[in-house]
Structure 1
Amino acid sequence: MSYHAYLSILVLGSLTGMVYGADAPVSFRTDIAPILQDSCLACHGAKKAEGGYRVDSYKELFKAGDSGESPIGANANDPSELVRRISCDDESERMPAESEPLSADQIAKFQKWIAEGAKFDGENPAQTLALVIPPPTYASPPKHYGHPVPITAVAFSPDGRTVISGGYHELNVWNVENGALVRRVPNVGQRVFAMSFSADGKTLGVGCGEPGKSGEVRLIDFATGEVKGVTARTSDVVLDIAFRPGTSELAVASADSSIRIVDMQTLKDVRTIASHADWVTSVAWSDDGKLLASSSRDKSAKVYDGTSGELISSYLGHGDIVRGVSILPENKQVVSIGDDSKLHRWNIADNKKVAEVGLGSDGSKIVRQGDNVLIPCVDARVQCVDLKSNKVAKEFKGHSDWVLSVTFQPGQNDPANELVASGSFDGEVRLWKVADASLVRSWSAKP
């Protein structure tokens, strides 16, 4: 250790109380982990560990790298290589490398944390930093967007009077009658990929996150717009969610390749299904909640026992990314779509395809309503497939960019009042009549 580095540590140690607050204990969750994630994780994570050293969890933080030096001393008097590196004045040794050094306040936090015993104040020392750090309260979105954001999720409110679209760190609620912005619901993840209402219509589940960094499900009290809870936090975005009929469970599909079943009363994981080898793009329960289906970027669609999570069926007929899936009534067949421009209909019992519908375009998630399924497609259409004839029955045309999301609103016993809402990559929301696929209205979904 150089004299200047040693002196800086002594000075920082003496100033810790003044810089950070003598009576405020340093928290690994709220003070140390965010610094590690923002400044150190890029070079010292599970996938890339420069010098053989990782900081992606509290447990890994204490393991020596290739140098063999102890990163964190057993007590405040023992050498700590981590502190030496972040406070070193030699740029060839100082961390983070080839970047701005940590501030005096940040280094002081590490000093004080180690002096206090380098304690862990989370639930599981092996959890990744993203899960250890408390859920953030996101800053309010800008008053006006400079440009539209892709509409990767849309949903009708339970009363059918409004359409909800995902924005930037918010949800935007629009009036069905005139397309006017009714209200904005802040404090959600950077991008919204899925929305689903609970059976009582009071809670809106929002699957969201920041690509490559974090994902979560936020539970919104729809009447007030308040966040009631945050669950299913993970290291990459949540791509789909589905409430299990008749239960308090929620299935969560993530880009970390997992499916998590969460109890919505306790916000705790019930089980994790790790059957896919790549992003899980969608999940869907059977109507009775006995079966769960999933699709994945690993080119497969699968079916599981809804209670145990045991794998029942695996379909590999697409030969390309599978993006949407739905279990048909009677729990005997599944329909799935993806990047091969076809709707596949296949048996759960033997994984055999029984029908195929050419779409002429790659499809995204599937929304099933009765004997029909709606499929948003990248050729700027929403296609409606009649499951009785296995043919395209209707096309909703008019978007000028990829259609990424679609939702259906029943007509309260009057088919003439049935509506479809769709969202596209260029930020447009369109509202259609189901009966004749005619356009009701459209608007750019940006405040």
Structure 2
Amino acid sequence: MNYYLSAVVVFGCLIASPALADEATVSFRKDVAPILLENCLACHGAKKAEGGYRVDSYAELRKAGDSGEVPVAENPDDPSELLRRIACEDEFERMPPEGDPVSQEQIAVVEKWIAEGAKYDGDNPELALALAIPPPTYAAPPEKYAHAVPIMAVTFSPDGKQLVAGGYHEVTIWNVEDGTLARRIGNLGQRVFALRFSADGKSLAVGCGEPGKSGEVRLVDFASGDVKGVIARTSDVVLDVAFRPGTPEIAVAAADSSLRIINTATLEEVRTIASHADWVNTVAWSDDGSILVSGSRDESAKVYKADTGELVASYLGHGAAVKGVSVLADNAQVVSVGADNKLHRWQVADAKKVAEVPLGSEGEDVTRVGGELYVPCAGQRLVRINLADNKITQDYKGHGDWVLTIAEQPGEVSDVGARLLVSGSFDGELRIWKSGDATLVRNWIAKP
């Protein structure tokens, strides 16, 4: 189909859509960007640019691909290849090439936007497409849950007196002293997979999303509970986040196989690391922020130079999905856990394994505290491992389902005179332990 016939088809759509004709000026951010994100980004992004053409930002959208055809014409009366390809009826030319074609209503929106001058209604035309779209405001979660939700992320508040746990479109905040619900912070993605406080304790980064559809990192002012903004967006859920020590940067691991570094002060994307071939499950920085390590469902763990993103090492010893990683204090070794039911300890220099610890079930994550490691396991337990001899020194038992996440209390502020540990499980239970001897302090189902 030639351009002129395409234009007739599109014009017909406009005539048949009186509601659109009555609308105000089409917004790139509100109206056009979501169409591109839904239909075009998978094949025309920074990681995969079919035909040399990208749509991952307004600036890239306006650049011609390998064909040299003008994607969006400066003069609305001139042909625009973007419009021609999405409106084309020839299945060999129409975009996207697979799946459902762009709807007539969406084509009409793009046509109207181009007719109005194809303007960008924002401050930064180079902003990533996903970030250019105004963030949605989510409906309030139910007052009371019919069922508990899996606790996939939990952390102590900076003062150690409260617990923050992932909920449904929210985080719930519980008093450590008695396990009562203190407050709730909503307007978050459907499921919460990661929680991290900034170094000053004022901001809470929430990695969340709707599986298979979208993901984001929302930055929350913890004192007020207000969502300050969306600092990262992905095409599938965000599975982990980690602040880089001494900087405003945050690493974002997502199920779309991407690893992104975002400057939380400027909202600029420092870099995207496209090294993994499947979900990036976990990410961690070294204590000094010079090394970044990630683990993926592609059965690898990788180490990068933090300043450049250069790949330093790739460890394939698990032969199964990697779910948790941590850089040891000397930056010379990494520990990782995953679906092979073992903890691996390996060298950064040559990616060679130096030790392994059988866990008895899948390791869901790993947290290093000084010379010890804590590993939540699918076998309804949490274990502590001594790095001096690579042996399990404590077994925390009692959960009735997979233990997915843990956190250690900062300081010594508990009502039992000891440092505390919290673990969360798939059945929605929170358990508080004395970290030293695995004494259970209290437990409850974190269900409002």
TM-score after normalising by structure 2: 0.82
- Report the counterpart of residue 194 of structure 2 in structure 1: 194
Residues 145 and 56 of structure 1, relative CA distance in 2, 3 Å threshold: farther
Match of 1:393, SS state, is strand
Q: Is the 8 A contact 1:229 1:267 kept in 2?
A: no
1:236 partnered with 2:239: no
RMSD: 4.0
Residues 347 and 45 of structure 1, relative CA distance in 2, 3 Å threshold: closer
1:422 partnered with 2:423: yes
Q: Is the 8 A contact 2:245 2:288 kept in 1?
A: yes
Give the whole-Å Cα distance in 2 for the aligned partners of 1:62 and 1:210: 31
- Report the counterpart of residue 361 of structure 1 in structure 2: 361
Q: Tell me the number of residue pairs that the alignment of Structure 1 and Structure 2 aligns.
A: 434
Give the whole-Å Cα distance in 2 for the aligned partners of 1:54 and 1:307: 26
Give the whole-Å Cα distance in 2 for the aligned partners of 1:266 and 1:394: 43
Give the whole-Å Cα distance in 1 for the aligned partners of 2:209 and 2:183: 21
- Report the counterpart of residue 135 of structure 1 in structure 2: 135
Q: How does 1:31-430 map to 2 (within 5 A)?
A: 31-34=31-34, 109-110=109-110, 112-121=112-121, 130-412=130-412, 416-430=417-431
Task: Give 5+ residue unaligned stretches, structure 2.
Answer: 48-52, 89-94
Q: Is the 8 A contact 1:12 1:111 kept in 2?
A: no
Match of 1:30, SS state, is helix
- Report the counterpart of residue 445 of structure 1 in structure 2: 446
Q: Is the 8 A contact 2:161 2:413 kept in 1?
A: no
How far does residue 296 in structure 1 lie from its aligned partner after superposition? 1.5
Match of 2:220, SS state, is strand
Match of 1:293, SS state, is strand
2:422 partner amino acid: A
Residues 174 and 44 of structure 1, relative CA distance in 2, 3 Å threshold: same
- Report the counterpart of residue 434 of structure 2 in structure 1: 433
Residues 147 and 81 of structure 1, relative CA distance in 2, 3 Å threshold: farther
1:226 partner amino acid: D
Q: Is the 8 A contact 1:73 1:80 kept in 2?
A: yes
Match of 2:23, SS state, is helix
Q: Is the 8 A contact 2:179 2:444 kept in 1?
A: yes
How far does residue 403 in structure 1 lie from its aligned partner after superposition? 1.1
How far does residue 20 in structure 1 lie from its aligned partner after superposition? 1.3
Match of 1:417, SS state, is coil
- Report the counterpart of residue 50 of structure 1 in structure 2: none
2:244 partner amino acid: R
How far does residue 369 in structure 1 lie from its aligned partner after superposition? 0.8
Give the whole-Å Cα distance in 2 for the aligned partners of 1:389 and 1:84: 65
Give the whole-Å Cα distance in 1 for the aligned partners of 2:43 and 2:285: 39
Give the whole-Å Cα distance in 2 for the aligned partners of 1:311 and 1:100: 38
1:20 partnered with 2:12: no
Give the whole-Å Cα distance in 2 for the aligned partners of 1:235 and 1:208: 12
Match of 2:232, SS state, is strand
State the percentage of identical aligned residues: 59
Residues 15 and 324 of structure 1, relative CA distance in 2, 3 Å threshold: closer
How far does residue 124 in structure 1 lie from its aligned partner after superposition? 8.2
Give the whole-Å Cα distance in 1 for the aligned partners of 2:350 and 2:54: 45
Q: Is the 8 A contact 2:280 2:294 kept in 1?
A: yes
Q: Is the 8 A contact 1:131 1:234 kept in 2?
A: no
2:440 partner amino acid: L
